[in-house]
Amino acid sequence: MENANLYHILREQFGQRMSQICLQLPDGTRYSYADLDSWSAGMATSLAALGASPGDRVVVQVQKSAAAVALYLACLRGGFVLVPLNTAYTLNELEYFIGDASPKIIVSEPHKQSELRAIAPTSTQLATLGGGDRDLADDAIRAAGDHSIVERENGDLAAILYTSGTTGRSKGAMLSHGNLASNAQTLHKLWGFQQGDVLLHALPIFHVHGLFVAINVAMLNGSTMLFLNKFETDLVLEQLPGATVMMGVPTFYTRLLASSSFGHKQFAHMRLFISGSAPLTEQTFEAFLTHTGERILERYGMTETGMITSNPLDGERIAGTVGYALPG
């Protein structure tokens, strides 16, 4: 039986383009697919050295960075269950999530270590990204990483993401390797990803949209991501001429429309603008169409499932709707 590990599936696609740039940062720093492959192997080795075994949960609360992407890939390839948490969560919220997820390892920024140690079970190991003791990024660079990819089945857990808690306390949604792979493959085909596509990525990576929809689809295509820490209008306007696809939330588009600098240079080469995570108003849809000639493609999903519906790539995209059920 073929390995259903999501990282194995992604690597089979970008493996022929290892020298291709995967992440390009605004300061010009670039990481190739080969860099991420090696870095994630080292991190997976470091996580295993801290006691993680396939199926163990790894809670991660860190700022968006290239190292955080490598850590995500490390969890996939090692068979560890990633539990990404919003960096804005309070200590009380963290205590609930940690108690519920029962992680083997918690990865945080160095300044959070002392407060996390106070609430984490004594059996839980702490590690960092961005300095301090047990810095996984530094360890991975020094380590001779094991480049193997753990065998996983479709139903094996890849991640647990906590819901927004609008109907009660947040619940851990269990997402399998098969679920994430199916979603990425479907969206890659449905949205017509092609050689040469470059994705502008200004989303957070602690939820489905930025982590799974954007990163997984881009990696399945072997695309370069223009990787921004967050949405800043001026920076996005500067970076857009190098992109062909943008994934965003509705406020991204209203902020672009509000800028007098958003002109033909920024959108002339764009193939696709995608919106999700909140309803896109008909007014924003129509204003964007009038300004750019582009119809924003709106889609809908849930933490528990990934994407469920999408407006078509080819065919009418109706303002105020989220399209049709995805194939499969």
* pLDDT digit string, tens, across residues 274-293: 999 999 999 999 999 999 99
- Average model confidence (pLDDT) across the chain: 95
pLDDT of residue 132: 73
pLDDT of residue 143: 67
pLDDT of 254 above 70:
yes
What is the share, in percent, of the chain residues with pLDDT greater than 90? 91
pLDDT of residue 77: 97
State mean pLDDT over 199-209: 97
- Distance of alpha carbon 205 from alpha carbon 105, whole angstroms: 19
pLDDT of 129 above 80:
yes
State mean pLDDT over 156-166: 90
pLDDT of 46 above 80:
yes
pLDDT of residue 294: 96
pLDDT of 267 above 70:
yes
250's tokens: 């509705």
This prediction's pTM:
0.96
Check residues 11 and 168 and name the one with the higher pLDDT: 11
- Residue 144's pLDDT band, with cuts at 50, 70 and 90, is low
- Distance of alpha carbon 88 from alpha carbon 207, whole angstroms: 13
pLDDT of residue 207: 92
State mean pLDDT over 252-275: 97
State mean pLDDT over 19-38: 97
pLDDT of residue 164: 79
pLDDT of residue 274: 98
pLDDT of 146 above 80:
no
pLDDT of residue 139: 73
- Distance of alpha carbon 182 from alpha carbon 213, whole angstroms: 11
Check residues 146 and 101 and name the one with the higher pLDDT: 101
Cβ atoms within 10 A of the Cβ of 56, count? 19
